Structure 1
Amino acid sequence: MRDEMGLFEEPFRSIEQGRKTVEIRLNDPKRQQIQVGDQIQFTHTETSEILLVHVTKRQVFPDFRALYEQIPNEDIDCIGWSLDDLVTSTYTIYSPEAEQQYGALALTIALEP
């Protein structure tokens, strides 16, 4: 299965350069369908560039705080960020209400050769 998601400049380049190996998302109905072995097509939101990755691991958490307590900052290319900084930053994308409804998802990914 191939899933499609958009990415802003910084996370797009981070994945492209191999610094980010875990993609964080809300575990909404669309993302609940993603399984290990699936392919994700990331599209840069400004340039329409495309990156293809495959999912090597899928982890569900009750909330983003629990996720960030388990996923190393290096894996999300956020070295030096505090737990509070990570959660606050995530709330600029997803609402606490949506988080409470769906939970959080960590997808370990690898670039397609």
Structure 2
Amino acid sequence: MKSITIDINSIPTQIEYSEGNLHIVGLMDEPFGAIKSGKKTIEIRANSDDRPFDYSIIKANHNLRFINERTGKVIDTKVVRVSHYPNIKRLFETEGTENTLSVPWTVAQGIELIHSFPGYKESIVKHGVYAIEIETT
């Protein structure tokens, strides 16, 4: 599986790759803070034809490392469970928004937010979406 390299503070940093049972992904600042504080316990991810990472390989008891794409800080988590949904509405109806989003939004607001990320709406229609429940280690 190929990885993506981004610049964090002018330092090339690999994200979206795996080393055995350790999976490393980038995360924006706000959800990073919500995971760090323990408020957000479920990460939402979708496979994409444009990005090389296959989220179906993440399983319970694997480790998921988040790298803050702005600061380069790291949070290590353990995967509790992974659930796959056909669409974001079903995910929010099942998982709720209080543990999946950085802010306490309604299902409709959450759907609008997730669909606003470039390519996410199309990717979810094609591949579905993953709810990855985590706990910090």
Task: Compute the TM-score of the two structures, normalised by the length of structure 1.
Answer: 0.91
Q: Equivalent of 1:103, from 125, 128, 136?
A: 128
C-alpha distance in 2 between matches for 1:11 and 1:37: 22
C-alpha distance in 1 between matches for 2:99 and 2:120: 23
| Cα offsets for 1:76-110 (capped at 9, x unmatched) | 2432x121110110012243221111101001000
Unmatched runs of 5 consecutive residues or more in structure 1: none
Aligned residues: 111
Report if the CA contact (8 A) 2:39-2:99 is conserved.
Answer: yes
Structure holding more helix per residue: 1
Q: More deviation in 64-73 or 42-51? A: 64-73
Counterpart of 1:3 in structure 2 is: 23
1:27 Cα deviation from its structure 2 partner: 4.3
Unmatched runs of 5 consecutive residues or more in structure 2: 1-20
Report if the CA contact (8 A) 2:114-2:121 is conserved.
Answer: no
C-alpha distance in 2 between matches for 1:95 and 1:15: 21
Report if the CA contact (8 A) 1:37-1:56 is conserved.
Answer: yes
* Higher relative contact order, chain-length normalized (CA < 8 Å, sep 6+): 1
Amino acid at match of 1:36: A
C-alpha distance in 1 between matches for 2:28 and 2:125: 24
RMSD in angstroms over aligned alpha carbons? 1.4
Q: Equivalent of 1:68, from 83, 89, 92?
A: 92
C-alpha distance in 1 between matches for 2:41 and 2:120: 24
- Alignment identity in percent? 23
Report if the CA contact (8 A) 1:27-1:60 is conserved.
Answer: no
C-alpha distance in 2 between matches for 1:49 and 1:21: 18
| Cα offsets for 1:15-47 (capped at 9, x unmatched) | 001111000111456101100011011000011
Report if the CA contact (8 A) 1:43-1:50 is conserved.
Answer: yes
1:35 aligns with 2:59: yes
Higher radius of gyration, 1 or 2 = 2
1:72 Cα deviation from its structure 2 partner: 2.0
